[in-house]
Chain A
Amino acid sequence: MKARSVVDVSTLPTAGFGPKSPMWWGTLGFMALEGGGFVLAVGTYLYLAMIAPDWPLGAVEPDLLPGTIVTVLLVISVVPNHLVSRWARKQRLGRVRIGLVVMALLGILPLIARGFEFPALNVRWDANAYGSVVWVVLGLHTAHLVTDLGDTLVLAALMFTRHGRSAKRFSDVTDNAFYWDFVVASWVVLYLLIYWFPRLYNP
């Protein structure tokens, strides 16, 4: 069939931010499915608590300190995270570079504190179903922490190369920041579940 040109797209930009960018939607899709995974893990925890005669099944409640430190660090990280995102939208390469280094550090610090969280749970994964579920919930979130830190490190390195000076890379930086918000927000819920639920719930 013959073609007749009715739309000209030659002046359109080659990168966009937020919902303009397919990568943003892809990130949202993965957040939705991983969020679904978190919801189910939380559901599993609550289900096991619901059927248990006592909770946390004779174990000692988890120590608050390491988990609270992680929470504080993650909540603080939201501020530079949003600054990096804003600078990326304005395509300020110098600031984005500094911001990503800061974000890399704010990824490493909670991960170190996370190392102290597992022993602070005061229960082994093979002790009982409570131990199993808290280890899995914490492990699941740790996997997110590690992967987003990896992503931030690679992106930070990339922005220091000649490839950094590209609208597409700046868009990637904003999507990475978007995902970090998800990692932080999901942790706040999991923190309340792991540390405060056993203290407040009395079957």
Chain B
Amino acid sequence: MTDIAAPVKGQRDSGLDDATLHAALTRTWETPRGLYGFFATVDHKIIGRRFIVTAFVFLFLAGLAAMAMRYQLSRPENTAIGPDLYDQLFTMHGSTMMFLFAVPVMEAFAVYLVPLMVGTRNIAFPRLNAFSYWIYLSGGLMLWIAFLLNIGPDVGWFSYVPLAGPEFSPGKRADFWAQMITFTEVSALAIAVEIIVTVFKQRAPGMALDRIPIFVWAVLITSFVVLFAMPAVMLSSTTLILDRLVGTHFYNAAEGGDPVLWQHLFWFFGHPEVYIIFIPATGFISAIIPTFVRRPIFGYIALVLSLISIGILSFGLWVHHMFATGLPQLGQSFFTASSMLIAIPSGIQIFCWIATIWLGRPMWKTPLLFVAGFIVTFVIGGLTGVMVASVPIDLQVHDTYFVVAHFHYVLVGGAVFPLIGAVYYWFPKFTGRMLSERLGKWNFWLAVIGFNAAFFPMHFLGLMGMPRRVYTYPLGAGWGELNLFVGLAAAMLFASFAVFLWNVVASLKRGEVAGPNPWGGGTLEWATASPPPFYNFMRIPVVTHREPLWAETESLPVATGLRVDARELICGTVTDATPELRESSPENSIWPLLSAIAVGATFIGSIFTPWAVVWGAPPIAIGLIGWFWPKGTPEDEE
């Protein structure tokens, strides 16, 4: 494409025919092939795709860790895996699933989809977006390389002190966990800011607040939750490293510190974390259902308000993870009430979805099957959630497999099923090809049956007294048969993911060609080619309706007047998306990668010496100056 002559300086898109416009915009927005383009791209689609693929690699790694644990537990007094490795395995499983898979994959979908769904050409702060990916990748690699070197963390995914403190965890294992947190949270926080600004400022003209797709609302609210929750875990992991590295006493009771402070700080993040994963998943549901039942979502306003209330309430529940620490009873009662309260907006959402399906004409394609699987599974997880929100029950089942069953129902049922449905739904947009429906059905039934068979019996194991995080159990406990059954069912669940992987790999080459809108969806991402061109939309759409593609069947209203020789997009007012600016969007740059290397080296160095922060500062400063200093491109000269 680069052999097309450069457009005249300041050339606008008005009046240009499609072929000329395509050539000019491609030249301006493309990521060049080759190594430089690979490392320097700031295209949200390329970065989003990378994010998704990387997150799924971590899902498979964490899944393998789970399979190893299930193998070890499949019979009593098994000696296949010793306690030391087992401790690392459950820590790696939980930490990877939460920090390297679940949160990043939701943000990854947002990075890819939000700019398309709001009708713009790139995410806000695209270089920060590139930086976020490199930082996330570095953090994930660091954790898994540490594990392969037998210095993987072994203190559980919430790394409780005093176990994780300097006294009981000498060596560097817990530090790798804490620093992985720093990597992933820096990445998540940066993406949250990008998403907020993209949604606030870059929406297509006419996309007033009440025309924003619910998925976009969901990731916007999630981004706010990230913004206020993640600093808590950064503060807690940093103070943990300080306790371990330079002898501070935050969690040392002998010197005025308090281990329970760790739990407060961690769960002030950790509970909203659940909703950081769950809210985008509900966004997937609200995007998938209307398309497959051929009608707009029922109760748009109620759904948006429910999402907002869940986002706010998620900050008032953290203490329900700490009922066993002996807190004052009044506090416990308050948090029981607030925990039950969140069932109300969640219930409103479920009823709106059921009403939409009820009133529509459902087409039971794979994405909608996963939605149905979600509703059933999540309701079961929600019910056990109401049970453990009650202090007396919680004290009985705390730290048993009942809790393991509960949160897997909520997280796998509530987030992974919608996510897999979302992959089936948007894969054609990402790649231009359809996934196989036949394999999709296999995938779905293996997943739903395998999941329920694996996790439902865990409720009973928990009630029978089996604690979580034990590497084996005595013959006389009587848990052997159920654990064997769970192990076999887990293999079935794992097989469903193997089918999924096979479907993805096979469809990339041989899948049916999708075209721009294979499902007949109503939102803007379906208005452009599949996969979308570098510039997303040839002309920026103008939105007149909540489902623009259903309202405008003949032709799409668009805005014109943007430059084609420089990266420009429309910025508008926050409430009504009335255009205010022709805002320039940064070009590709290698500096985000270089900055990420400098920051990553500093983070890893500071596991070993506090001076790494000092040595790391000059390279980081150079990286950031290189990043921001204008290079004389048309974008800089506006």
Q: Is B192 an interface residue (CB 8 A)?
A: yes
Closest residue on chain B to residue A126 by CB atoms: B247
Q: Is B197 an interface residue (CB 8 A)?
A: yes
Contact, CB under 8 Å: B14 / A10: yes
Q: Which residues of A from 144 to 163 have beta carbons under 8 Å from B?
A: 150, 154, 158, 163
Contact, CB under 8 Å: B197 / A15: no
Contact, CB under 8 Å: B257 / A11: no
Q: Is B252 an interface residue (CB 8 A)?
A: yes
Q: Is B576 an interface residue (CB 8 A)?
A: no
Q: Which residues of A from 164 to 185 have beta carbons under 8 Å from B?
A: 166-168
Contact, CB under 8 Å: B255 / A129: yes
CB distance from B586 to the nearest CB of A (A): 11
A51 partner, pick from B205, B258, B558, B562, beta carbons under 8 A: B258
Task: Render B609-633 as a binary contact track against A, CB cut-off 8 A, 1 for contact.
Answer: 0000000000001000100111000
In the complex, what distance in Å separates the CA atom of A47 from the CA atom of B124? Answer: 38
Q: Is B512 an interface residue (CB 8 A)?
A: no
Q: Is B228 an interface residue (CB 8 A)?
A: yes
Q: Is A94 an interface residue (CB 8 A)?
A: no
Closest residue on chain B to residue A58 by CB atoms: B256
Task: Render A123-141 as a binary contact track against B, CB cut-off 8 A, 1 for contact.
Answer: 0011111111101100000
In the complex, what distance in Å separates the CA atom of A57 from the CA atom of B165? Answer: 21
CB distance from A50 to the nearest CB of B (A): 10
Q: Is B591 an interface residue (CB 8 A)?
A: no
In the complex, what distance in Å separates the CA atom of A1 from the CA atom of B571? Answer: 24
The segment from A27-35, A68-76, A97-105 found at the interface with B is A27-35
In the complex, what distance in Å separates the CA atom of A32 from the CA atom of B202? Answer: 20
Q: Which residues of A from 7 to 27 have beta carbons under 8 Å from B?
A: 7-16, 19-22, 25-26
B249 partner, pick from A11, A32, A34, A126, beta carbons under 8 A: A126
Determine the chain A residues whose CB is within 8 A of the CB of B177 once the complex forms.
Answer: none
Q: Is B554 an interface residue (CB 8 A)?
A: yes
In the complex, what distance in Å separates the CA atom of A9 from the CA atom of B540? Answer: 10
Closest residue on chain B to residue A55 by CB atoms: B256
Contact, CB under 8 Å: B570 / A129: no
CB distance from A22 to the nearest CB of B (A): 5
A29 partner, pick from B192, B238, B261, B558, beta carbons under 8 A: B192
Determine the chain B residues whose CB is within 8 A of the CB of A3 once the complex forms.
Answer: 538-539, 555-558
Instruction: Count chain A residues whose beta carbon lies closer than 8 angstroms to a beta carbon of B.
Output: 55
Contact, CB under 8 Å: A47 / B628: no
A48 partner, pick from B125, B205, B257, B574, beta carbons under 8 A: B257
Contact, CB under 8 Å: B227 / A32: yes
Instruction: Count chain B residues whose beta carbon lies closer than 8 angstroms to a beta carbon of A.
Output: 72
Closest residue on chain B to residue A53 by CB atoms: B256
B189 partner, pick from A10, A15, A33, A44, beta carbons under 8 A: A33
Contact, CB under 8 Å: A22 / B571: yes
Contact, CB under 8 Å: A1 / B197: no
B227 partner, pick from A21, A29, A158, beta carbons under 8 A: A29
B250 partner, pick from A10, A26, A37, A129, beta carbons under 8 A: A129
Determine the chain B residues whose CB is within 8 A of the CB of A21 once the complex forms.
Answer: 571, 581
Determine the chain B residues whose CB is within 8 A of the CB of A7 once the complex forms.
Answer: 205, 542, 557-561, 579
In the complex, what distance in Å separates the CA atom of A161 from the CA atom of B362? Answer: 62
Q: Is A36 an interface residue (CB 8 A)?
A: yes
In the complex, what distance in Å separates the CA atom of A199 from the CA atom of B196? Answer: 41
Contact flag A33-B228 (CB < 8 Å), given A3-B539, A154-B625? yes
In the complex, what distance in Å separates the CA atom of A11 from the CA atom of B555? Answer: 25
Contact, CB under 8 Å: B579 / A132: no
The segment from B134-142, B229-237, B497-505 found at the interface with A is B229-237
Q: B interface vs A, CB < 8 Å?
A: 12, 14, 124-125, 189, 192-193, 196-197, 200-202, 205, 227-228, 230-232, 234-235, 238-239, 242-243, 246-250, 252, 255-258, 261, 264-265, 268, 527, 538-540, 542, 549, 552, 554-562, 568, 570-571, 574, 579-584, 621, 625, 628-630, 636-638
User: What are 27 A-B interface contacts by the 8 Å CB criterion?
Assistant: A2-B554, A2-B556, A3-B557, A5-B558, A6-B557, A6-B559, A7-B205, A8-B14, A9-B560, A9-B582, A10-B562, A12-B581, A16-B571, A20-B581, A21-B571, A22-B202, A29-B227, A30-B193, A33-B227, A36-B228, A44-B239, A47-B264, A48-B257, A126-B246, A126-B249, A129-B255, A129-B257
